[in-house]
Amino acid sequence: MRISVVGLGYVGAVCSACFANEGHEVIGMDIDAVKVDLINQGKAPIVEKDLEDYISRNVKARRLRATTDLKEAIDNSDITIISVGTPSKPNGDIDLKYIKEAAKAIGEKLKEKDAFHIVSMRSTVLPGTGKNVVIPIIEEISGKKAGVDFGYVSNPEFLREGTAIWDFYNPPKTVVGATDERSYKTFRELYSFLKAPYFEVEIEVAEMIKYADNSWHATKVTFANEIGMICKKLGIDSHKVMDVFCADTKLNISTYYLKPGFAFGGSCLPKDVRAITYKAKSLDENTPLLNSLMPSNEYQIKRVYNEFIKPLKSRKIAVLGLSFKPNTDDLRESPVLELTELLIGKGYKVSIYDPNVLKAKEDGANKALLENELWHINERLSNNLDKVIQENDIILIGNGSKEFQNIPQKYTDKYIIDLMRVTNQPSKNNYIGIAW
């Protein structure tokens, strides 16, 4: 394929060299003549392991060259990859000035080109940048229509400095969001040499993934540092602790707990977070990340009420699933229980269905708890799921029990508020997913 790369900084230089190394005809474009001259001499414009070898080899093979002329780059390519900088503004917002400049310049050049051309965003940009900023600029200036006359692709990079060449060939994943099937097909072919998982998603999903990744990486660094700070004060080797921590790939280093939904609860997480943050405080150690966990968790409960329940006109609500997770009657620090008590306190007519908690009314460990401390919950429990649903206007699905999975499709005349995503359908009309 014929590829042009706009911006020959860290990402652009690496991608140019690697795509050329795969046999593609690559033109790198940058307004900085020094970078252009270095690449045309077979030299790397940045320090990166193996990059100069890749550039030198492919310049000699005439698969890679560089120019300061964008028209030349676009005229001699079918795909243009944008890899310009996206620095921060003083207020923390992303600065899109280089993205906008690139989009304007590309729009001007596409106005003169008849052939279908794909514009790919490799720079890290916030969700909505493609559809609300880049595409409109190109369409207005070029007079062409995205998805018809030109394609737009969001294709985030996952390169680490110092191992960028290796990362290019061994990515954790390849993500492509596009305006049209023609662009998807082209990128399937472009990345066909990689063995990594390949995802075709909406453009906004592709844009958001990089931010989810980097926020998680920052969270991991901060978490490890705060655990290390506590360990240091206690005379414990934090590396031994974290070596054992990381050996757990069932819960710790895994996909578990990483599905957006409702607040955490149960007999362990809340009390242990409180205990370790109290211990840190007693050691005069500041742990901002760990300290934020309980307030954030409490906010999730208030958010569901304020954003999704309070705006509805009806005050008749059925709560399906009271325990903090399915297949248990454990009500200890259940966030659904806390939300239910909030609703009762606000004057809502609440009906509750949870077969596991119902069983506890007879002979379980929660019998005394329900009859004494939670009598206001006990008197609202029902053993008839259909009746509970039919008698209320709002249905709150509180845990992921299989019994609740077909409710959004079956009861389309009710407001369904799903805390656990029991169905894969997106929020629409009467179905409200709290994080999707």
Q: Which CATH number fits domain 2-201: 3.40.50.1970, 1.10.3720.10, 3.40.50.300, 3.40.50.720?
A: 3.40.50.720
Contacts for 419-426: CB closer than 8 Å, 24+ residues apart: 419/261, 419/262, 419/304, 419/336, 420/261, 420/262, 420/321, 421/259, 421/261, 422/397
pLDDT value, residue 368: 82
Cα torsion through 215, 220, 221, 226, rounded to 10: 120
pLDDT value, residue 332: 85
pLDDT value, residue 267: 86
pLDDT value, residue 278: 97
pLDDT value, residue 22: 97
Hey, is 377 helix, strand or coil?
A: helix
Q: pLDDT at residue 363 above 80?
A: no
Q: pLDDT at residue 246 above 80?
A: yes
**pLDDT band, residue 406 (cuts 50/70/90):** very high
Q: 104-108, 172-176, 371-375: which has the minimum mean pLDDT?
A: 371-375
User: Percentages helix, strand, coil for the chain, rounded to the nearest 5?
Assistant: 45, 15, 40
Catalytic entry in 15, 231, 246, 268: 268
Residue of higher predicted confidence among 15 and 325: 15
- Do the beta carbons of residue 246 and residue 239 sit within 8 Å? no
pLDDT in tens, 20-51: 999 999 999 999 999 999 999 999 999 999 99
pLDDT value, residue 436: 94
Distance CA 47, CA 59 (A): 18
Beta bridge partners of 117: 150
**pLDDT band, residue 369 (cuts 50/70/90):** confident
Say whether 15 is catalytic.
no
pLDDT in tens, 313-330: 999 999 999 988 888 888
Q: Which CATH number fits domain 302-433: 3.40.50.880, 3.20.20.70, 3.40.1160.10, 3.40.50.720?
A: 3.40.50.720
- Do the beta carbons of residue 114 and residue 192 sit within 8 Å? no
Where helices occur in 194-306 by DSSP H, the ranges are 203-234, 238-247, 269-282, 288-303
pLDDT value, residue 364: 65
pLDDT value, residue 367: 81
pLDDT value, residue 249: 97
